[in-house]
Amino acid sequence: MNTGTQIDLFAPPETAHWIDKRLYQLREHERDWTRDFLNANDEKQGEISLVLVHIKMHIGDLEKAKQELGL
């Protein structure tokens, strides 16, 4: 029994559109948070860096899924 997430290797066309849209949104967030990071004091930079790490992880996950699906 497989309880992990399964990805349909025959993804419908809207999957590629959704992934591209989400990547665009995440990159906008990354840009905005990076700007905030550069303008923040040391204490806030620590908090913002955690957010940036999570955003980058999500971007990496989506790029990997896109590659695995051949999109």
pTM of the model as a whole: 0.76
Q: Give just the sign of the alpha carbon dihedral 61, 66, 69, 70.
A: negative
Q: List pLDDT tens digits, range 32-49.
A: 999 999 999 988 999 999
Across all residues in the chain, what is the average pLDDT?
A: 86
Tell which wins on pLDDT, 47 or 14: 47
Instruction: Name the token pair of 4.
Output: 């992990």
- The Cα-based distances of 50 to 13, 28, 45, 70 in angstroms read 33, 17, 9, 30
Tell me the C-alpha distance between 58 and 2, whole Å: 23
Q: Is the pLDDT of residue 2 over 60?
A: no
Per the structure block, which two tokens stand in for 60?
Answer: 């990496």
